[in-house]
Each structure stands twice: as structure tokens, then as C-alpha cells.
């Protein structure tokens, strides 16, 4: 079984780790200001990403440049985001592939009112710049600590915590130059169109599961199809969560051995931390599901576990007869 590759989410998550990528609602004010600053402020710098993977801490270094509303992130993959939600991605040594088009722009985010932000206080210098620190809480628990540039409002550093208040993921600029970066960021000369198609949830029928809401306040923002793979996009106003689903069954040998075994409904799944956040994969009802998000691990699992049972296709009369015959013959084999 070959798993669906959530390429758009995987490649783009780091590009927007310091600023939201989707149309914003009236969410927590510091996050909205950081999004606006990332769109309006030209800058270039080196971003260090660290994340916990079991007992190990892994890291990746990226170069980032922004000008005139365009953002380019260079690392193992190269990502470019343009205004009006046109997003482009290029893999190692390959040509540019368009993975998101203006026509796919999702609905606005929810208001994010389930979260509480603290008042900004003076913080340490990050990448040589003065910061103001804001914390994000949910039900009394510290989720994130955000370091905002005092002058521009840019997000300089973003630390995410687990329930024990240990940093499990951090994005921080090592160096940052704010101002005119020089020549404008050029569009790729040509792109291959690999963007999915938007579909109405009610037209999916039994081919996919796309509930309007998931656990802990995640609301559906859009549904997309690329061949046999269906992508349902959710948000709670701060974190975005994508659920990919495709026909098939999942065996342990299909997934990397480093995953943490988890229970999703009546199924066994596996959870993986990665630079963009969390990934959970499981199979149910003849489909393989992959949930991807920058939300805390417990929220991603709660959302996955709130997915309704997968509808199974009813057998034809011939299929029922064949299955009955197989059951009768089984003891003789």
C-alpha cells in the first residue's frame, strides 16, 4: 500500500510556521499582527527549526526571504508563496510544481476564541532584534510562547510546549535583516500544474468522510480531490489540520518503524513528529487516513479520533454469494 503524500501541506507548513497561510478571521490579535507583518515587511534571514522525535532532538536550517507579499523558503525543498493564495513548490533539483491555485482559497478561519493570549511583555533579543513575548493558552495550559519583533511585529521565534511544559518544537531566526532585500523575488519561468480540484462535501457520497466539524473545535474549510486522494482542510482559528484519505489498507510495513503506536477509534495508527508539527496515519473501512497539523499532538489525536465511522460499500448479490461460498469452503482448505 502506497500512502498518499500530503506534499502541499508538508512542503508549505514550514514556510508558514511563523505566519498563517490561510485567510484569517478575528483570531488572537498577536497572531493576526504577525501574519500581516509577514505579508507587508520585506526581510531575509536564516531560520532554525528544532523538534522532538522521541528521545532525540532533530533540527533543520532554512533560508527565508520576503518581499512585495511573496515568501520564499529554501531548504531540502524550495517553497514560494505568492499573493492571492497561489503557492508553488520545487523539490530537490526538480522543476516548479503548482500545488495550490487561487480558485482553491478556503473559507475564512474560525475566530480562535477557545484560546487565550497574554499581554505582551519585554523579551530577550532574538537574531539581534528586540522582542516582545506573548503566550498562547488553552484551558489553563501553556501551548506556545511567541517572540514578536518590537519594531515590525514579525514573529522571530515560536516555541511549542507539551503537557509537561517541555519545548517539543521551535522555529527561531538565527539571523534576520529587515528592509528592502534588493531585487524582487522572481516568479518561476514555468510550472507543472499538480493542484487538486475543489469539490463539494455533499458530492463525495461514500467515497470519503468529510464531517463539518472535528473534536476540539476544528471546522471544515474546504474539500479537495486529486485522483483517488481526498483532502479535507480544517481549522480552529489558530491551527490548521488536513485529513488525507485514499482507498487501501495499512500494514505495519507500510509506515516507518519509528512511529508511536496510537489508537484511533477501533484501528491502530502511528504518530510521527516532523518539522511541520504532527502526522497521524491509520486505516479504517478500506481507506487509509493521514492527519497532518502544526497543532499539539493531543489535539491532532483528538481530531483524528472524532472522525465518524467510515462507510463501507455494500456488496452486490454476487459478492455476497461469493463470500458465503468462501466461508463454507474455508474449513476444507
pLDDT, tens digit, 9 for 90 and up, residues 79-129: 777 654 556 666 656 677 777 777 777 788 888 889 999 999 999 999 999
Indicate the SS3 state at residue 299. Answer: helix
Higher pLDDT, 213 or 276: 213
- Give the confidence band of 317 by pLDDT, cuts at 50, 70, 90: low
Indicate the SS3 state at residue 317. Answer: helix
For the residues of 215-251, what is the DSSP string, one character each? GGGEEEEEEEEETTEEEEEEE-SS-EEEEEEEE----
CA distance 126 to 131: 7
- The Cα angle at residue 287 between residues 282 and 291, in degrees rounded to 5: 45
The CATH number, out of the four listed (3.60.20.30, 3.40.33.10, 2.50.20.10, 2.70.98.30), of the domain defined by the range 7-191: 2.50.20.10
How much is the average pLDDT of 260-281?
Answer: 92
CA distance 113 to 45: 32
If one counts every other C-beta atom within 10 angstroms of the C-beta of residue 267, the result is 16
User: Which residues is 329 bridged to in the sheet?
Assistant: none
Whether 315 shows a pLDDT value over 60: the answer reads no
Give the pLDDT confidence score for residue 187 in this predicted structure.
72
The residue among 36, 71, 252, 72 whose CA lies nearest residue 152 is 36
Is residue 312 within 8 A of residue 301, CB to CB? The reply is: no
Longest Cα pair distance anywhere in the chain, in angstroms? 79
Is residue 43 within 8 A of residue 177, CB to CB? The reply is: yes
pLDDT, tens digit, 9 for 90 and up, residues 24-83: 444 577 788 888 888 888 999 999 999 999 889 999 999 988 887 788 888 777 777 765
CA distance 253 to 257: 8
CA distance 147 to 31: 11
pTM: 0.83
For the residues of 156-178, what is the DSSP string, one character each? EEEEEE-TTS-EEEEEEEEEEEE
> In the chain, pLDDT over 70 holds for what percent of residues?
79
Give the pLDDT confidence score for residue 333 in this predicted structure.
47
Question: Residues with Cβ < 8 Å from 327, sequence gap 6 or more?
Answer: none
Give the pLDDT confidence score for residue 325 in this predicted structure.
47
Give the pLDDT confidence score for residue 94 in this predicted structure.
67
pLDDT, tens digit, 9 for 90 and up, residues 283-300: 998 999 999 999 999 999
- Which ranges of the chain would DSSP assign to H, the alpha helix? 7-13, 29-40, 297-305, 317-329
Give the pLDDT confidence score for residue 251 in this predicted structure.
87
**Domain limits of the chain?**
7-191, 196-305
CATH class of 196-305: alpha beta
Amino acid at each position: 500500500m502506497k500512502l498518499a503524500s500530503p506534499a502541499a501541506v508538508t512542503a508549505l507548513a514550514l514556510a508558514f510556521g511563523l505566519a498563517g497561510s490561510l485567510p484569517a478571521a478575528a483570531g488572537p490579535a498577536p497572531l493576526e499582527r504577525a501574519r500581516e507583518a509577514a505579508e507587508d515587511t520585506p526581510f531575509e534571514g536564516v531560520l532554525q527549526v528544532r523538534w522532538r522525535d522521541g528521545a532525540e532532538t532533530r533540527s533543520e536550517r532554512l533560508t527565508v526571504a520576503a518581499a512585495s507579499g511573496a515568501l520564499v523558503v529554501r531548504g531540502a525543498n524550495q517553497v514560494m508563496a505568492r499573493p492571492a493564495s497561489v503557492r508553488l513548490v520545487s523539490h530537490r533539483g526538480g522543476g516548479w510544481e503548482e500545488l495550490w491555485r487561487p480558485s482553491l482559497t478556503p473559507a475564512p478561519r474560525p475566530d480562535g476564541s477557545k484560546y487565550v493570549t497574554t499581554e505582551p511583555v519585554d523579551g530577550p533579543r532574538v537574531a539581534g532584534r528586540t522582542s516582545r513575548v506573548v503566550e498562547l493558552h488553552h484551558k489553563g495550559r501553556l501551548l506556545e510562547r511567541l517572540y514578536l519583533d518590537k519594531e515590525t511585529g514579525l514573529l522571530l521565534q515560536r516555541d511549542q510546549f507539551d503537557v509537561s511544559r517541555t519545548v517539543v518544537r521551535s522555529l527561531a531566526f538565527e539571523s534576520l535583516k529587515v528592509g528592502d532585500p534588493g531585487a524582487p523575488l522572481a516568479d518561476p519561468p514555468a510550472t507543472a500544474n499538480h493542484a487538486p480540484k475543489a469539490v463539494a462535501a455533499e458530492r463525495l457520497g461514500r467515497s470519503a468522510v468529510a464531517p463539518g466539524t472535528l473534536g476540539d473545535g476544528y471546522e471544515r474549510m474546504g474539500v479537495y480531490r486529486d485522483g483517488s486522494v481526498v483532502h479535507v482542510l480544517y481549522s480552529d482559528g489558530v491551527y490548521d489540520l488536513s485529513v488525507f484519505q485514499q482507498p487501501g489498507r495499512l500494514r505495519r510495513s507500510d509506515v516507518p518503524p519509528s512511529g508511536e503506536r496510537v489508537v484511533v477509534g477501533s484501528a491502530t495508527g502511528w504518530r510521527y513528529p516532523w518539522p511541520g508539527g504532527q502526522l497521524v496515519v491509520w486505516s479504517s473501512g478500506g481507506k487509509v487516513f493521514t492527519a497532518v497539523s502544526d497543532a499539539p499532538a493531543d489535539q491532532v489525536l483528538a481530531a483524528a479520533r472524532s472522525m465518524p465511522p467510515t462507510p463501507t460499500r455494500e456488496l452486490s448479490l454476487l459478492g455476497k454469494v461469493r463470500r458465503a461460498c468462501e466461508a463454507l469452503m474455508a474449513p476444507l482448505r
